[in-house]
Structure 1
Amino acid sequence: MDIRQLRYFLAIANSGQISIAAKKLHMSQPPLSQQIRQMENELGVMLFERKRNGRRIELTNAGKILYDKAENFLNSFDETLLEVREAGEGIRGTISIGTVLSCVSHLPEKIKSFNKHYPNVSFKLFGSDQSDLSLLLENRTIDLAIVRLPLQMENLSVVPLTKEPYVFVISKDTKGFTSKDFISIKEIENFPLLLIHRIKGEGIYERILKEFQRHDVEPNILVECPDVNILLTLITEGIGGSILPKSSVPPILLKEVQVLDIIDIPLQSETVLVYLKERYLSKASQRFIELF
C-alpha cells in the first residue's frame, strides 16, 4: 500500500461513489476500482460495501478504522512535506484564514502590514458562521480562525485579541432615539429585535436572552440570522434594532445607524484567534500570528 492509494481511498470515502471520486481525481473509474481491490486484497478485508441502489458505497467497520488513520497520517505527511520545503524556500505560500463576519475588522491592517514584509505570501479568506469555521479548522481547509467566545471546540491554541461591549444599533431615522447616547434593556422591550444566532452551538444569542430573563423583560424578536451584514442592512432600512459587538459596525455605516450603550447589560464580546494545537503551521502562518 502506498500514499497514492490512501488518497484514492479517502477520495472515494468522501465522495460516496467511485464515479464521482474518479472525476475529482481526473482519472477513469476502472483503474480506481482496481487500486481499491488491490488494497482490500493486501489487507485481507473489505473496505467498502455497496448499498441497495448499487451506486452509493459506504465504509465497512474496517474501512472506518482505516479512514481515521489514513486521514491523520496524510495530514501529518503533508505538513511534514511543507515543513521540509520551507527549510529551503523561506517564507512564501498561502495563509488560509477564516473569520466570523463581525470580526473581519481585525484583518485589513494586519494583512496590509504583513504584505509589506512578506510579499511572496498570499491569503485565502473564508467568512462564515462559527460552527462552519470549526469544521474548516478540523479539515485543515483553513490554518487560522478569528472567532468570538464561547467556542464549541477543543484542542485549540487560543490567542486573545480584544474585549468590547455589546451595543444597541438602530437606524438614524428611528424616532425618539436621536438625542440618546445610551439605553436600558427595558426600553428595548417592545422594539423589533434582529439578533445574531449561530447555526450550531450556543453563542451570544442565548446570553442575550438570559439577560432579558434576568431583567424580567420579554424581547420582541423579529429576525434571527448568523450574518451580521444582513442584520446591518435590515437596520439601515429601519426594520428593527440589534444588540451587536461595537466593532461589528463599520465606520462607513455610522452615517446611517446610531450606536447606543446599554447601561444594564454587562455583556462583553471576547474575540480570539485560534488554530489547531497538533498541526504544523507554515512559517508564514506563524509569522502572521505574531502580529497579534
Structure 2
Amino acid sequence: MDIKQLKYFLTIAREGTLTKASKKLHIAQPPLSYQLKMLENEIGIKLIERTTRKSQLTDAGKFLYNRGEQIVELVETTLKELKDFNEGIEGTLAIGTIASTASMLPEKINKFHKIYPKVNFQIREGGSSRILDLLNNGIIQIGIIRHPFDSKNLKSKCLCKEHMLAATHDNFISSSKKKINLITLKNSPLIVHVKFKSMIVDACSELDFKPNIFCESDDVRSMLTWATTGMGIAIVPNSAVNLIPNINLKYKEITNPTLVTKISLVWLNNSYVSTTMKNFLKILT
C-alpha cells in the first residue's frame, strides 16, 4: 500500500462514489477503480461495497479511513518538517490549541511571522484530550492547553495565568462592580467546566459552602451559550470573553486567589525539536 493509493481510497470514501471521486482527483474512473482493486487485493480484504449509485465502506474500510487520515497527515507533516533543515526559515509548524485560548494565537503568530515570513502554519482546535492525542500521534508539534493536565512525557512552558470569570445574565448579578468574591455566587446555579469542577468545589469549600452546580460541560462555548439564556452563571477563564458575541452577558472577575488557571505550551519530551519550533518557542516564551 502506497500513499497515493491511500489518498485515492480516502477521496472515494469522502465523495461517496467513484464518479465523484474521479472528478475530484481529475483522473479517469477506470484507473481509479483499478487502484482501489489493487489496494484491496494487496491487503486481502474488501474496503468498499460498490453499487451503481454509491459506494459504502465496509467495517474494514471504516477502520482504514480513520487510520488513513492520520497516516496521510503524518506523512505530509514529516515532509514539511524536512524543509526545516534550511535553518528554520522555511517549512510548516503544526500547532494545536484549545478553543478558549485560540483568540490569543494570531497575535503570537503575527509576531513570529514578521521575523520568519516563509514559515507556514497548520492550526488544529479541540479539547485538551484531542490536542494531546494529536501531539502523541505526531500530527502537531506544539500544543497550547490549560492546566491541569498529565505532564508525563511532556515538556511545558507557562504562557500566562488567568483569573476565572463569572459570565452572568442580568437576572443574577445586578451589581456594577467588575470584580466579585466567590461567596457572591453562593446561592446561584453554576455552569462549570469538568476540568475546573474540583478547583471550584474546593474554593467554595474554603468559604464553607457547597456550590449549586446546575450544569457540567466540557465545552466553553456551550457554557456561555447556556449562560445567555439566564439559566445559570458560567465560570470560565478570562480568555473566553470573546468566544461568543452576546450583549446579554456580563463578565465579573472572581477575586479568590485559588481560582486561577495557567495556559502552557506543551510538546513531547523525547520528540525531535525542529529549528522552526525552537525559534517559535523563543519568541513565545
Q: TM-score range by the shorter chain?
A: 0.5 to 0.7
The C-alpha deviation readout for 1:107-161, integer Å capped at 9, x for no partner, is: 3542232122112234454554435545655676654331113347976543333
1:217 aligns with 2:224: no
Secondary structure of the 2:200 match is helix
Residue in 2 that maps onto 1:34: 34
Distance in 1 between the 2:224 and 2:186 partners? 18
Q: 1:73 to 1:139 in 2, by over 3 A?
A: closer
What residue is the counterpart of 1:289 in the other structure? 281
Q: Distance between the aligned counterparts of 1:78 and 1:179, measured in 2?
A: 51
Q: Classify 1:71/1:177 alpha carbon distance in 2 versus 1 (closer, same or farther; 3 Å).
A: closer
Instruction: Determine helix, strand or coil for the equivalent of 1:262.
Output: coil
Tell me, in whole angstroms, the C-alpha distance in 1 between the residues paired with 2:59 and 2:29. Answer: 18
Query: Partner of 2:38: helix, strand, or coil?
Result: helix
Q: 1:276 to 1:203 in 2, by over 3 A?
A: same
> Letter of the aligned partner of 1:227 in structure 2?
V
1:46 match: 45
- Structure 1 residue identity aligned to 2:146: R
1:5–1:221 Cα change, 3 Å: same
Equivalent positions of 1:159-170 (< 5 A) are 159-170=157-168
- 8 Å CA contact retained: 1:194, 1:222: yes
- TM-score, length of structure 1 as denominator length: 0.66
Contact kept in structure 2, 1:172 and 1:257, CA below 8 Å: no
1:50 partner amino acid: E
Matched, 1:85 2:83: yes
Correspondent of 1:193 among 190, 194, 206: 190
Paired residues of 2:135 and 2:141 also in contact (CA < 8 A)? yes
Which residue of 110, 113, 116 maps to 1:112?
Answer: 110
Equivalent residue number for residue 147 of structure 1: 145
Assess if the C-alpha contact under 8 Å between 1:99 and 1:128 holds in 2.
yes
- Provide the rounded CA distance (Å) in 2 between the counterparts of 1:277 and 1:34: 44
Query: Residue 101 of structure 2 is aligned with which of 85, 100, 103?
Result: 103
- Counterparts of 1:238 and 1:39 in 2: how far apart (Å)? 55
CA distance change for structure 1 residues 226 and 64 in 2, over 3 Å: closer, same or farther?
closer
State the partner residue of 1:243.
235
Contact 2:163–2:260 at 8 Å: present in 1 too? yes
Do the aligned residues in 1 keep the contact of 2:48 with 2:55 (CA within 8 Å)?
no
* Among 217, 227, 235, the residue aligned to 2:220: 227
State yes or no: 1:272 paired with 2:264.
yes
Alignment partners' CA distance in 2, 1:132 and 1:65: 20
- Contact preservation (8 Å) 1:225, 1:231: no
Instruction: Check conservation: 2:182, 2:204, Cα contact below 8 A.
Output: no
Residue 99 (structure 1) shift: 2.5
Give the Cα separation in 1 of the matches to 2:87 and 2:46: 39
Residue-pair matches, total: 276
CA RMSD of aligned residues (A): 4.8
Q: Offset at 1:258?
A: 3.3
User: Structure 1 residues 58, 83: CA separation in 2 closer, same or farther (over 3 Å shift)?
Assistant: same
State how far apart, in whole Å, the 1-side matches of 2:151 and 2:72 are.
Answer: 22
Unaligned stretches of 5+ residues in structure 2: none
Query: Which whole-Å CA distance do the structure 1 matches of 2:240 and 2:65 have between them?
Result: 44
Cα displacement (A) at 1:167? 4.3
How many angstroms does 1:227 deviate by? 3.2
Report deviation, 1:168: 3.7
What's the CA shift string for 1:152-192, capped at 9, x where partnerless?
A: 7976543333344434455799756445854244x313224
